Structure 1
Amino acid sequence: MNKALVAYFSASGVTAKVAAKLSEAIGADIFEIKPKVPYSSADLNWQNSESRSSIESKDPGSRPAIAEKVDNMDQYDLVFVGFPVWWYREPSIIDTFMESYDFSGKKVVPFATSGMSPIGDSGKNMQALASGASVAAGKRFPSNVSAGELKEWAVKNSQ
């Protein structure tokens, strides 16, 4: 497998657990995509149309700032990008991440966590933000996915 990075955004900790399991299973570096302004539980209330996450999801131009950058993104050929599914797509902070680096010549593989919502068009959305990259369609995983299943999926998608 190429030099790999698992980058992830996790609002509640579920995606963080899956990302850590994936990173360990494939021997990849790991990076947490942290918002410059952390999300509060009120910000994440999807039932409130005025919550921060609801407002960001409705605005295709929303780009929440990221607190830190990946050191030397150039060293990675393969980047797994993990996130929770918000309104059937990737959260806006993932769009910020995709626009923050030159992914030319890299393979980007999205993965998402959700109880039931599909990953939707996240791969297509991310491809539009990463010209020159090869962005896979991605896959949604439940919180209890096994390390073996993650490794098998990652190896298949690293080709």
Structure 2
Amino acid sequence: MSKVLIAYFSASGVTKNLAEKIAKENDYDIFEIVPQEIYTPADLDWTDKNSRSTKEMNDKSFRPPIVESTDVSGYDTVVIGFPVWWYTAPSIINTFIESVDLSGKTINAFCTSGGSGIDKCVNDLAATYPDLNFAKGLRLTGAESSEKIKEWISE
């Protein structure tokens, strides 16, 4: 039986709710990726060219500091959840990936999004970290059954 960790970043609570549901229903461990500086609604205003999130997403090298990381050595699969920002994963996901050793692990990514898909997110992460094993991602709306999610993670 492979050991699974759900690591997630949530700015508004949507991703958190799904991550907690997936972890609880499947008995997976869970870890929240918490920014040192919590995002305010103004920080998340994608229509404001000077908002914190816009500035971060426009600087591909920026890595928002996180409160802490976690030991992933005991896991075969790490599932990383996040909201889609600017059609890709938020920069804080890079901070997390660079803070742990994911070599040899299967990495599944799930996103929460009203309309954007996951493929560009996973392709961008795989291009940034070509030595890591990214599996097919999944966009979640919250309506998916835990069976469907478990099946996706074990594929």
For 2:114, the aligned partner's letter is G
Contact 1:7 1:30 in 2 (8 A): yes
TM-score computed with the length of structure 1 as normaliser: 0.90
Report the number of matched residues.
155
- Partner in structure 1 of residue 99 of structure 2: 100
Matches within 5 A, 1:54-65: 54-65=54-65
Matches within 5 A, 1:1-159: 1-70=1-70, 72-156=71-155
Quote the Cα distance in structure 1 between the aligned partners of 2:142 and 2:12.
Answer: 11
SS in 1 for 2:31: strand
**Gapped runs of 5+ residues in structure 2?**
none
Quote the Cα distance in structure 1 between the aligned partners of 2:44 and 2:143.
Answer: 22
Quote the Cα distance in structure 1 between the aligned partners of 2:73 and 2:106.
Answer: 12
Cα deviation, residue 101, structure 1: 1.4
SS in 1 for 2:57: helix
Q: Kindly tell me: are residues 120 and 139 of structure 1, through their superposed partners in 2, closer, same or farther at Cα, counting changes over 3 Å?
A: same
**Gapped runs of 5+ residues in structure 1?**
none
Quote the Cα distance in structure 2 between the aligned partners of 1:136 and 1:103.
Answer: 13
TM-score computed with the length of structure 2 as normaliser: 0.92
Cα deviation, residue 150, structure 1: 1.9
Please report the RMSD computed on the Cα atoms of aligned residues, expressed in angstroms.
1.5
